[in-house]
Amino acid sequence: MRFKKLTSLALAAILAVAVTACSSSKNEESKNSPPASASPSSGGSGASASASPEGGLDHTKELELTVFSTTANYAGEQTGWYGKILKDKFNIKLNIIASNLDGGQNKIAAMMASGDLGDIVVFGSDKTDYPNAIKGGLLLDWTKDGLLDKYGKYIVDNFPKAIEKAKIAFGGGQAVYGLGHNVAGNQPGPSEGKDLTWGPELRWDLYKQLGYPEIRTPQDYLGVLKKMQELEPKNEQGKKTYAFSLWSDWDGNYKMTLAKQFANMYGYDENGATLLYVAADEDKYYEFLSDDSWYMKSLKLYFDANQMGLVDPDSLTQKFDDVVGKYKDGRLLFSWFPWLGSANYNTPDRTAVGKGFATVPFKEEKVYSWGFNQYGNDWIMAIGAKAKEPERIMEFINWLYTPEGAMLSSGGGTAIQNGPKGLTWDLDKDGKPFVTDFGWQAFADQKGTIVPDEYGGGTFYDGQSQINFSNVAPGLTNPETGEPYDHNLWTSSLKRNPSQLDQEWRDKMGALTPKEYFVKNNMIAVAPQGFTGKPPLMMDKALEQKNAQIGTVIQQYSWKMIFAKDEAQYDKYKQEMMDKVKGLGYDEVLAFSVKKAEELFESRKSVQQ
Amino acid sequence: MSVPADQLAQLGSAAAKPGRRLPNKYKLFLMALPFLAVTFIFYYLPIYGWIYAFYDYIPGIPLEKTPFVGFKWFRTIAENPTQTAEVVRVMKNTVAMSGLGIATSFLPVVFAILLTEIKTGWYRRIVQTLTTIPNFISWILVYSVAFTLFSVDNGLVNTLLLKLGFIDDGINFLANNRNVWLAMIAWYWWKSLGWGAILYLAAITGIDQELYEAAEVDGASRFRKIWHITVPGIMPTFFVLLLLSIGNFVNNGMEQYFAFQNAMNKDTIEVLDLYVYNIAFSNNFAFATVVSMLKSIISVFLLFLANGMSKWVRKESII
Amino acid sequence: MKSRKLRAGDAAFHTINYAFFGLFTLTCIFPFYYLFINTISANDLSTMGYITFYPRGIHFDNYVSVLKIKGLGHAAFVSLYRTVVGTLLTVGASAFLGYLFTKNEMWGRKIMYRAVVVTLYFSAGMIPWYSTMHMLHLTNNYLAYILPTIIAPFNIILVKTFIEAVPPSLEESAALDGAGYLRIFGSIIFPLITPILATITIFSAVNQWNSFIDTAWLMTDKKYYTLQYLLWRYLNESSSLAALIKSAQNLGAVDVRNMQTPTSVRMTVTMIVVFPILLVYPFFQRYFVKGIMIGAVKG
C-alpha cells in the first residue's frame, strides 16, 4: 500500500504545479497593472521634500527597487550608511541582484530571457549585453514622456556629451537607454588617482643599497634585479626570492596578461581584444605579434630573465592568490602595478624602516593614461523597461551625478568610497574636504569598523554603495570644493604624515606622487576619450570565435616561449605560433583590428584638446 | 498544464482501485504514465531549444527577430585545416581520457570486493566513510593541494627529493607534457574510487548469502568464492555502468582538466569539454547549443551501439 | 600442512589488504586535514604557504564570517526540506519505476525505458531549461526543487538491474497466490532491494544537499534560498572582486585591501559542506553490512 501513497504524493505534486501555475499568473496580472501611486502629486510634505529639486514627486510611499548589476559584488538589500541615506532622502530601498555571484554570463542570459531586468540595470560593458537588451526591448527610453528633461536636470545641464553619445551610439539618434560610467566634464590631464595603472615598482630599499642605478629601458631592469636578488637571495623565512612571479589564471582574456605591461609603459594599449596595440596620444598602432611590438619584446625579456634565474619556476602552475602571498612574504622584487607590489608588501612596520615597493620608472617610459571622458566610459547604468515609478528612479539616478551623490560613492566598484559627510570626512573652515580620524580608521579596516547607529549602523564595508557603479569620475573636480571627489587626491590627504619610505621616495624623485612625477617629467601619454558619433563597430559572432581561438593559441605559446630551454627552442615556438594563428584566420581578424583602430582615431577627433 | 492534470486524476483513481478487466500490460503502462509525463515535461520539453543552433540566437531577443543561419555554426567546427587539426588533437585527448577511464573502470569493483574482505567492522566502516571524502573536494581545491605537494619551489615532494639528494634542481611535475593522461586518470580515481565503490558494495550486499554458505560447506577458497559468486553477482551492475560510461564517451567534463591545465600540458590535457569552454566562452549560445546537440546525438548513438554489441556478444541487451 | 599454508596465505592477504586500505585512507584524509588546518590558521600565513602539517596562529574567523551570513538558518532549513522531501520522492519513484520496467508484459516497455534512459545524455542548454521552468511557473517556487528530480534515470537503471538479479521464482510464487503488482512490489521486492535503495538515497540526498545552480537561476526571493546557494554566493563574493580588478580598465583606483583570498573561503566552505555528509553517511552503512538472505524472504 506504500505505492498508493507514492502515487498520490506524485499526483498531489503535479496538481500543485498546476495550481501554482494559475495563481502565479494571476499575480503577474496584478503586477502589470499600473501602480496606483504613479500620478505625480505635489504633496512635498514628506520627510524628503528637500531631496526633490523639481518638487513634483511624492516620497511618502517606500519604493523598493530591484537593481540588476553585472558589476556588483554583493547581493541582497542595500544596508548600512548608504542604505540609510537613500531611505532618508528618497524613501527608497535597493534590492541588488548580482550576476557575478549567480553564475555570471549565464545569469545575465537567464534574466534577459525572462524579459524583465528589474528597475535599475548596470552593465559592466557596453559591448554585447547592453545593445542586445535594447534590441530586445528590455530597457526604458529616458526621453519618453520627458523623463530625462524633467527629473534628470543635473545630467542634462552638466553632462550633455554623455547624453549625446547615448543617443547616437545606442539610441538610434533619439532615445537614451543609459549612461556610461566615470563621466567627466571637459577636463584635461590624466583621470587616475595618485598612482597610475602601471609603475613599475621595485623594492626601494634594495634599489637604494645599489645606489639608484640608472635604468633607461625595460631590459635594464634585468641587471639591476639580478644585483638586488644577490643582495637578498632569500626572504626572512629562508625562501628564495625572484624578480618576476607570473600567473596564468588571468589569461582568460585573449593574450598572456602579463606580457603587455611594457607596451603600456611605452604609451600603447590593446584596443579591445584585437591584434593591434594603439598609441595613447598619436594615431599610430602596431601588430602585437610583430617583432618590434613590446608584447613580443616582453616575452623575450622574460625569457632572458628566466635564463638568469629571475623568474619564479612555479609561474606556469600557480594562481594569482599564490603570487599575492609571495609579495606579502617578501619573495618578489619587481611589480608591474602599484596595487600589486606596494599594496601587499608595504605594511606600516616595513615602510617605517624604509622597506617597501616604490615606483622606479625607466628613462624612456611614457606611461599610458586615460584622460577624462566627457562621453562616459563603457559601463552602463540603465532603467528596466518594466520599472515601476520611473520618475523616482530618474530622480535618484540624477542625484548620483550631483556633487552630493558623487561625494558619497564616487569610485564605487574598485575604490574605497568617501562615506557619509560628518563621519568619515568633512569640510574645513575654508570649505576644503578632509578625512577624519574615524575615516582613516574606517578606510584601513573597512570590515572591522562599526558605523554609529545614527549613520545607519553595520560595518563601513557593508554600508558602501553596493551597486558598484561610479557615475562620475573620481578624479573629477567637485565644483563645490574645488578638489577632486576621490579622498585620496585631496590636498589634506596627500600631505598627511608620510612614512619613511614615502619621504625617501619624495626626496629622491622630487614629486609628491607617482602621477605628479610622470606629469612633471613629461613621461605620460594621455589617451583622449572621445566618440565617433556612430554606433560602435562590432565583430560578428563567427569572427569573434576565430579571434578567441587565436587568442588561446597566442596565450599558450607565449608561456612556452618564456620557458623555452634555449634560443633555438624559443624561435621554434615562435614560428609554430605564427603558423597556427595564420591558419586560424589571423588576416581576417587583423583587417577588422585595423578598422577598429581607425574608429578609435576618429573618435579622438571629437575631443581635440 | 490542465490536460495532463486531468489525465492524471483519472489515472490516480485507476491506480486506487485496480480495474479487474484491464489487461495487465495496460495496467502496468498506466502505472508508469504519470512518471513518463514528468519525464516529458522536464527532459523533453526543453529540447525545443535545439532550434537555437540554427539561429544567431541572443537571449532576450525573440526568435522571430533573429536571423536564421542554417548550418553556419556547425560548419565553424571544421572551417580550415588548422582548425580541423585542433579538433583532431582535442578528440585524441578525449578518446584517450575516456578510453583510459573505461579500461580502468574495474577499479571500484576491486576496491569494493577487497573492502568486503575486511572483517573488522569498525575498520571497514572508517575506511568506507573516509575514502569518500575526496569526492566532495572540488577540483580547484584538489589542485591547490597538488600545488602544495608538487610545486618546484618549496613543494613537499621536491623538498624531500632535494634533501635526500636524489635531484639537484626542482622538478616541475605539474608543468610538463609527459604522462599527462596517466596522471589525470590517477587523480581521477583517487577522487572517485571510494564514492564509486558504493554501488558495488550495494551490489555485493544484494547477493544471496546462501550461495556463500553453500560454497563454504564445499570448502571453497576465498578466491574461488570471489570469482564464482561475488564477481558474477556484481557483473550486471558493472555492465550497466560500463554501458552508460560508453555513452558518456565525449563528456569528460572540464573541471578537472581546467584546474590542471597550463601552457605546457595543454596540448595533451585539452579534452572536448575544456576546448569548448576555452574557445567559446560563455556568451555564444548558438555555438554552445550546436555542441550540446551534437554531443547528445553522439552519446545516444554510442549508447545504442554499445547495447547492440552487448546483445551480439553476450546475447543480452542492457537497455 | 595444506591448511597451515592456507592460513599463512590468508594472513598475508589480510595484512596487505588492511595495509592497502590504511594507506589509501590516509591519502584521502591528508588533503582534507590540510584544508582544515588552513581554514583555522592565520590567513596570511596560509596564503604564503606556511601551513602544511599543523595549524599556526589559530583563529576561527573564517567560520565566524560564514555563520554571519544573513538568512543562513532559514536557508539550512530549506536545504534540509529539499533534501528530505526530494530524496524520498525520487527514491520512491525510482524504486517503483525500476520495478515496472522489469515487467516484460508491460505495454511499450522497451520504448518507454529507453526514452527515460536516453535523457541521461540530453542537455538542451541552460536557457531552454530556464524558459521551460519559467513557463511552468516554477520560479520562486519550492516545487522547482522537487519535481524535476523525481525522475532520476540513473537511479531507475540501478534499481531495475538490481531487481533483475532477484530470482524470478520469488515473484512468481507470490503471483500465483493472487497478489497484484502493487502487493508484490510492496511486500516482496521492496524489502529485497534495500541495499540499492540505500545507495540511491545517498546519491540523491548528496545531490539535493549540494545543488545551488537551480536556486541561482530560478529563485529571486530570499525565502527560497538554500544553504549551498548562500555559501556559493559567499564564495563568489571573494573571487568576483579579483575578477573585477582584472577587467577594470582603469586600475589606478583599485584598492586591494578589500580582497579576501578566494582560496581560504573555498576551503572553509568545503569543510562546512562535507561535515554533515560525513556525519550522516555512516548511518546508511548498516544497509551495506548484512548480506541478503533470500531464503528468509521466501520462507
In Å, how far is A84's CA from the nearest CA of chain C?
18
Contact A73, A98 (CB under 8 A): yes
**Cβ–Cβ gap A135/B147 under 8 Å:** no
**Cβ–Cβ gap B205/C147 under 8 Å:** no
Confidence of residue A324 (pLDDT cuts 50, 70, 90): confident
Note the pLDDT of residue A411.
67
Please identify among residues 72-91 of chain C the ones whose CB lies closer than 8 Å to any CB of chain B. none
Number of structural domains chain C divides into: 2
Which residue, chain included where needed, has cell 583621470?
A191
Cβ-based neighbour number of residue A427 at 10 Å: 13
Which residue, chain included where needed, has cell 637571495?
A233
Between B15 and B94, residue with greater pLDDT: B94
Residues contacting C111, CB < 8 A, separation 6+: none
Residue C25 has pLDDT above 90, yes or no: yes
**C-alpha dihedral sign at A281, A287, A291, A297:** positive
**C-alpha distances out from residue B257 to A45, A321, B142, C298, Å:** 63, 20, 12, 50
Residues C70 and C218 in one domain: yes
Residue A15 has pLDDT above 50, yes or no: no
Q: Which of B123, B240, B302 to mutate to test the interface with C (most CBs of C within 10 A)?
A: B240
The three-state secondary structure class of A43 is: coil
Distance (Å, rounded) from C-alpha C217 to C-alpha A112?
A: 12
**Cβ–Cβ gap C89/A339 under 8 Å:** no
Confidence of residue A42 (pLDDT cuts 50, 70, 90): very low
Q: For residue C261, give the chain A residue with the closest CA.
A: A321
Q: Is C261 on the interface with B (CB under 8 A)?
A: no
In Å, how far is C121's CA from the nearest CA of chain B?
5
Residues C188 and C122 in one domain: yes
Confidence of residue C291 (pLDDT cuts 50, 70, 90): low
Residue B296 has pLDDT above 50, yes or no: yes
Looking at residue A433, what DSSP letter applies? E
A331-342 burial, b if ≥16 CB within 10 A, otherwise e? bbbbbbbbbbbb
Residue A9 has pLDDT above 60, yes or no: no
Note the pLDDT of residue C45.
85
Residues C289 and C247 in one domain: yes
**Cβ–Cβ gap C48/A113 under 8 Å:** no
Residues C226 and C255 in one domain: yes
In Å, how far is C14's CA from the nearest CA of chain B?
8
In Å, how far is B212's CA from the nearest CA of chain A?
33
Residues contacting A370, CB < 8 A, separation 6+: A190, A191, A192, A526, A527, A529, C249, C250
Q: Is B303 on the interface with C (CB under 8 A)?
A: yes
Phi, psi of C181 (to 5 degrees): -60, -40
Residues of chain A found within 8 Å of residue B151, distances taken between Cβ atoms: 314, 317-318
Of the listed ranges A215-219, B56-60, B272-276, C2-6, the least confidently predicted one is C2-6
Residues contacting B1, CB < 8 A, separation 6+: A17, A18, A21, C136
Residues C161 and C256 in one domain: yes
Note the pLDDT of residue C253.
43
**Cβ–Cβ gap A585/B147 under 8 Å:** no
Domains of chain B as residue ranges with CATH: 1-50 (no CATH), 86-314 (1.10.3720.10)
Residues of chain A found within 8 Å of residue B284, distances taken between Cβ atoms: 541, 544-545
As a residue count, chain B comes to 319
Distance (Å, rounded) from C-alpha A419 to C-alpha A443?
A: 9
Residue B4 has pLDDT above 90, yes or no: no
Note the pLDDT of residue C191.
85
Q: Is C8 on the interface with B (CB under 8 A)?
A: no
Residue A3 has pLDDT above 50, yes or no: no
Residues of chain A found within 8 Å of residue C261, distances taken between Cβ atoms: 321, 324-325
DSSP readout, A201-262?
A: EEEHHHHHHTT-----SHHHHHHHHHHHHHH-SB-TTS-B-BSB----TTTTSSS-GGGSHH
Residue C267 C-alpha cell reads as 576551503
**Cβ–Cβ gap A103/C253 under 8 Å:** no
Residue B296 C-alpha cell reads as 547528445
Residues C102 and C209 in one domain: yes
Note the pLDDT of residue B246.
94
Between C42 and A157, residue with greater pLDDT: A157
Note the pLDDT of residue C284.
82
**Cβ–Cβ gap A580/B82 under 8 Å:** yes
Q: Is B240 on the interface with C (CB under 8 A)?
A: yes
Residue A443 has pLDDT above 70, yes or no: yes
**Cβ–Cβ gap B52/C125 under 8 Å:** yes
Q: Is C263 on the interface with A (CB under 8 A)?
A: yes
Confidence of residue C74 (pLDDT cuts 50, 70, 90): very high
Residue A539 has pLDDT above 90, yes or no: no
Q: Which of B211, B153, B35, B260 is closest to A233 using CA atoms?
A: B153
In Å, how far is C3's CA from the nearest CA of chain B?
11
* Span A88-112, average pLDDT: 91
Q: Residues of chain A with pLDDT > 70: what percent? A: 89
Residue type at position A70: T
Residues C55 and C82 in one domain: no
**Cβ–Cβ gap A322/C49 under 8 Å:** yes
Which residue, chain included where needed, has cell 602595478?
A337
Residue A34 has pLDDT above 50, yes or no: no
Please tell me the pTM assigned to this model.
0.86
Between the two ends of chain A, the Cα-to-Cα distance in Å is: 86
Distance (Å, rounded) from C-alpha B240 to C-alpha B102?
A: 12
Pairing of strands A367-370, A524-527: parallel
**Cβ–Cβ gap C250/A370 under 8 Å:** yes
Q: Among C59, C89, C108, identify where a domain stops.
A: C59
**Of residues A1, A17, A325, nearest to C143 (C-beta):** A17
- Subunit partners of chain A (3 or more CB pairs within 8 A): B, C
Residues C280 and C180 in one domain: yes
Residues C165 and C243 in one domain: yes
**C-alpha distances out from residue C232 to A274, A348, B143, C211, Å:** 34, 34, 19, 10
Distance (Å, rounded) from C-alpha A319 to C-alpha B259?
A: 10
Distance (Å, rounded) from C-alpha B143 to C-alpha B269?
A: 14
Residues C23 and C92 in one domain: no
Residues C13 and C138 in one domain: no
Residue B217 C-alpha cell reads as 560447506
* Span A251-271, average pLDDT: 85
Q: Among C59, C87, C109, identify where a domain stops.
A: C59
**Of residues A25, A97, A416, nearest to C137 (C-beta):** A25
Residue A40 has pLDDT above 80, yes or no: no
Tell me the average pLDDT of chain B. Answer: 87
Residues C125 and C264 in one domain: yes
Distance (Å, rounded) from C-alpha C292 to C-alpha C185?
A: 17
Q: Among C59, C86, C105, identify where a domain stops.
A: C59
DSSP readout, A479-512?
A: TTTSSBSSGGGSHHHHTS---HHHHHHHHHHTSS
Distance (Å, rounded) from C-alpha A411 to C-alpha A513?
A: 19
CB burial of residue B121 (10 Å; 0-12, 13-18, 19+) = exposed
Residue C36 has pLDDT above 60, yes or no: yes
Cβ-based neighbour number of residue B15 at 10 Å: 22
Distance (Å, rounded) from C-alpha A94 to C-alpha C129?
A: 29
Residues contacting C259, CB < 8 A, separation 6+: A324, C238, C241, C242, C245
Cβ-based neighbour number of residue C111 at 10 Å: 9
Note the pLDDT of residue B282.
55
Distance (Å, rounded) from C-alpha A195 to C-alpha A361?
A: 12
Note the pLDDT of residue A136.
92
Distance (Å, rounded) from C-alpha A405 to C-alpha A398?
A: 9
Domains of chain A as residue ranges with CATH: 53-187+375-471 (3.40.190.10), 201-370+498-607 (3.40.190.10)
Strand intervals (E) in A299-396: 334-335, 357-359, 367-370, 380-383
Q: What CATH number is given to the structural domain containing C155?
A: 1.10.3720.10
**Cβ–Cβ gap B266/A556 under 8 Å:** yes
Residue A172 has pLDDT above 50, yes or no: yes
> What is the domain extent for residue C2?
1-59
Rg from Cα positions in chain C: 25
Residue A53 has pLDDT above 80, yes or no: no
Between the two ends of chain B, the Cα-to-Cα distance in Å is: 31
Model confidence over C230-249: pLDDT tens digits? 999 988 887 766 666 655 54
Distance (Å, rounded) from C-alpha A419 to C-alpha B18?
A: 72
Residues of chain A found within 8 Å of residue C246, distances taken between Cβ atoms: 250, 253, 257
Note the pLDDT of residue A52.
44
**C-alpha distances out from residue A252 to A73, A518, A546, A555, B258, Å:** 20, 31, 15, 9, 12
What count of CB pairs under 8 Å joins A to B? 142
Contact A486, A415 (CB under 8 A): yes
Q: Which of A486, A552, A537, A548 is closest to A513 using CA atoms?
A: A486
| Alpha helices (H) in chain B, listed in sequence order | 2-16, 24-39, 72-75, 81-103, 107-116, 121-130, 139-150, 156-164, 180-205, 209-217, 222-225, 231-247, 255-260, 266-269, 272-280, 285-314
**C-alpha distances out from residue B314 to B246, B304, B306, Å:** 16, 15, 11
Contact A148, A155 (CB under 8 A): yes
Residue B75 C-alpha cell reads as 560548419
The three-state secondary structure class of C135 is: helix
Distance (Å, rounded) from C-alpha C77 to C-alpha C83?
A: 10
In Å, how far is A107's CA from the nearest CA of chain C?
6
Whether the ipTM is more than 0.95: the answer is no
**Cβ–Cβ gap B83/A583 under 8 Å:** yes
Note the pLDDT of residue A488.
85
Q: Which of C250, C254, C259 to mutate to test the interface with A (most CBs of A within 10 A)?
A: C250
Residue B213 has pLDDT above 60, yes or no: yes
In Å, how far is C191's CA from the nearest CA of chain A?
12
Model confidence over A449-472: pLDDT tens digits? 899 999 999 999 889 999 988 899
Residue B87 has pLDDT above 60, yes or no: yes
Note the pLDDT of residue C117.
94
In Å, how far is A545's CA from the nearest CA of chain B?
6
Tell me the average pLDDT of chain A. Answer: 86
Phi, psi of C106 (to 5 degrees): -65, 140
